[in-house]
A and B are shown apart, each in its own frame.
Chain A
Amino acid sequence: AQTVTQSQPEMSVQEAETVTLSCTYDTSESDYYLFWYKQPPSRQMILVIRQEAYKQQNATENRFSVNFQKAAKSFSLKISDSQLGDAAMYFCAYVNQGAQKLVFGQGTRLTINP
């Protein structure tokens, strides 16, 4: 079975600085997708960014980018120019090609210090 591990329960960063959240996963599959979801204090979970495993190029969405290392099974999220609105719980998630079930990591709570 696939597993997703987020080893940092909490992280904090100064406003305007850069922070990286770690995620590793375990799978024997070759075709899969990875996601980062954000859950602000209001609790509505939203998709931040996603990465197709077959693509070598790292995904980028404005201030959010990923470092996808397929051989190492690592999928970290970098947030540049951190803003107060980035404070949230961040979840890394995995899905096999052809599957419906997302497998989530334990989550990392990110605090932004003004």
Chain B
Amino acid sequence: DVKVTQSSRYLVKRTGEKVFLECVQDMDHENMFWYRQDPGLGLRLIYFSYDVKMKEKGDIPEGYSVSREKKERFSLILESASTNQTSMYLCASKQGGGFLETQYFGPGTRLLVL
């Protein structure tokens, strides 16, 4: 089975802190994604990566950056956390470039910024 893990289930940070959210997948998937999930808004794509060191902006990249130094790991970085970044963050991965390929999701990290 594909396994996507995220470093923390819950995280509490202060405004202005630099925050790292880590995601690891164990199936050699080429594509990885970061979403944020907010009530009434569904999932919105922040960034995705289709290869090591490659990244593309999603729909809401402002205030975030990403890093993919190894194929299995995709990090989401909040350079200076703000209260409006309090949310659930979901990581996903999928094999190959086909749009039909299933995305596999991690359990999510609930981030609270105080």
Q: Residues of A at under 8 Å CB distance from B?
A: 4, 6, 9, 33, 42-47, 50, 52, 91, 95-102, 104-107
Q: Tell me how far the C-beta of B35 lies from the nearest C-beta in chain A, rounded to whole angstroms.
A: 8
B45/A43 in contact, CB under 8 A: no
In the complex, residue of chain B having the shortest beta-carbon distance to the beta carbon of A107: B42
- Contacts A91-B42, A107-B42 hold; do A43 and B107 have CB atoms under 8 A apart? yes
A104/B48 in contact, CB under 8 A: no
Contact of A44 among B44, B58, B100, B105 (CB under 8 A): B105
Contact of B40 among A9, A42, A101, A102 (CB under 8 A): A9
Contact of A104 among B31, B42, B56, B99 (CB under 8 A): B42
In the complex, residue of chain A having the shortest beta-carbon distance to the beta carbon of B88: A43
A4-B99 Cα distance, complex, nearest whole Å: 17
A9-B39 Cα distance, complex, nearest whole Å: 10
A33/B99 in contact, CB under 8 A: yes
6 smallest A-B Cβ distances: which pairs?
A: A45-B105, A104-B42, A104-B43, A43-B108, A106-B42, A95-B99
Contact of A99 among B40, B42, B99 (CB under 8 A): B99
Other A-B pairs beyond A33-B100, A42-B107, A44-B107, 13, CB < 8 Å = A43-B88, A44-B108, A50-B100, A50-B102, A96-B99, A100-B31, A100-B56, A100-B99, A101-B45, A101-B48, A101-B58, A104-B44, A106-B40
- Chain A contact residues: helix, strand, loop or mixed: loop
Q: Which of A9, A43, A44, A95 has the most CB of B within 10 A?
A: A43
In the complex, residue of chain B having the shortest beta-carbon distance to the beta carbon of A92: B42
User: Is residue B50 contacting chain A, with contact meaning CB distance below 8 A?
Assistant: yes
B42/A44 in contact, CB under 8 A: no
Q: Tell me how far the C-beta of B53 lies from the nearest C-beta in chain A, rounded to whole angstroms.
A: 17
In the complex, chain A residues whose CB is within 8 Å of the CB of B82: none
In the complex, chain A residues whose CB is within 8 Å of the CB of B95: none
A100/B97 in contact, CB under 8 A: yes
Residues of B26-41 contacting chain A, CB below 8 A: 31, 35, 40-41
